[in-house]
Each structure stands twice: as C-alpha cells, then as structure tokens.
C-alpha cells in the first residue's frame, strides 16, 4: 500500500485531487520529469495512448511531475508550457518538495527514477510499477485485467 500523493500544485485540474477520488476506477499514474528524454519519447506518449484506448469510466490517467534534479529548470511555469506544447490534458500533480533533492511522493513511494508508471486497482491498491519502458501490448493487457476485476472485486 502506498501513501497519499503529496502535490504542491495541480495542473489541468480545477481542484486538488487525491487517490481516493479515483476509487472505483483503475488509475494510471505516469511519474515524469519534463526534461527527461525517456519520459518525453516513451512514457508520456504511452500515457496518452492509454487515455485514447480505455473508457474514462474505467481508467483514469494522471501525471506526477517528480523533479529530483535540475529543480530550477523545471518549475511549474515551464511545466505548464510543456504540457501545452505536448498536448497533455490529463491532470498533473506537481510532487511536493521533500527534505532532500527527491520530492516527497517519490521518496515515500520509493521510486527509482523517471519515467515510472504505476497501476492502481479499483480499490486503490498498487498492482504494478514499471520503471523505464514497457511494451504497449502487455501494458494494455495488464490494465484490462484490472478493469475486468469490476464485478468480482467490488
């Protein structure tokens, strides 16, 4: 079980969100940095494909901007322009500052780096975390297996 998501700010959302807001749906959290090449080339485009593939009532996608290096280069001002230019319209949480270079949620969740994709089931339990790249077909299957838990699990 992971702790709550700690955001200092939300973009693409008119209010702060919490993990509980997504209970009942499968939740995909794409953890990224806007200047991380693997996030730009693989992670974020894949997150957008998830949005296009699954029904909104079954699967929610959010981003978590977890900056652990070049902090001055990836401020919310820059992030906002980045999201606009890359047509990313799902909600993005700015991970709150931590006690060191690593932001608070990233540290609490024990993440290794970016991009990392986490899958939460309809009860809000973490069921998978992928650091780096993961093929679309297997990821699509994995998300669908969580979607299909609907009836039995709730």
Interface residue list for its own copies (CB under 8 A): 35-37, 40-41, 46, 49-50, 53-54, 69-70, 72-74, 77-78, 80-82, 84-86, 135-145, 147-148
Rank residues 16 and 141 by Cβ distance to its own copies and give the closer one. Answer: 141
Q: Closest approach of Cβ 37 to its own copies, in Å?
A: 6
Rank residues 132 and 138 by Cβ distance to its own copies and give the closer one. Answer: 138
Q: Closest approach of Cβ 81 to its own copies, in Å?
A: 3
Rank residues 3 and 53 by Cβ distance to its own copies and give the closer one. Answer: 53
Rank residues 17 and 147 by Cβ distance to its own copies and give the closer one. Answer: 147
Q: What is the DSSP letter of 39?
A: I
Sequence-ordered list of residues with C-beta below 8 angstroms from that of 115, at least 6 positions apart, any chain: 30, 31, 32, 36, 38, 39, 42, 43, 44, 131, 132, 133
Neighbours of 111 (CB within 10 A): 21
Neighbours of 11 (CB within 10 A): 20
Residues forming beta bridges with residue 95, ordered by sequence position: 7
Q: Closest approach of Cβ 10 to its own copies, in Å?
A: 18
Q: Closest approach of Cβ 129 to its own copies, in Å?
A: 18
- C-alpha to C-alpha distance for 55 and 42, rounded to whole angstroms: 22
């Amino acid at each position: 079980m992971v702790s709550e998501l700690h955001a200092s700010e939300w973009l693409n959302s008119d209010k702060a969100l919490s993990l509980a807001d997504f209970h009942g749906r499968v939740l995909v959290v794409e953890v990224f940095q806007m200047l991380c090449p693997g996030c730009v080339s693989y992670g974020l485009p894949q997150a957008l494909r998830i949005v296009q593939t699954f029904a909104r009532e079954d699967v929610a996608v959010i981003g978590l901007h977890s900056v652990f290096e070049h902090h001055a280069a990836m401020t919310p001002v820059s992030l906002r322009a980045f999201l606009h230019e890359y047509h990313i319209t799902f909600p993005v949480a700015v991970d709150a500052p931590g006690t060191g270079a690593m932001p608070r949620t990233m540290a609490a969740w024990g993440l290794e780096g970016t991009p990392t994709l986490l899958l939460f089931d309809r009860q809000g339990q973490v069921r998978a975390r992928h650091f780096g790249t993961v093929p679309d077909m297997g990821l699509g299957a994995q998300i669908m297996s969580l979607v299909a838990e609907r009836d039995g699990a709730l």
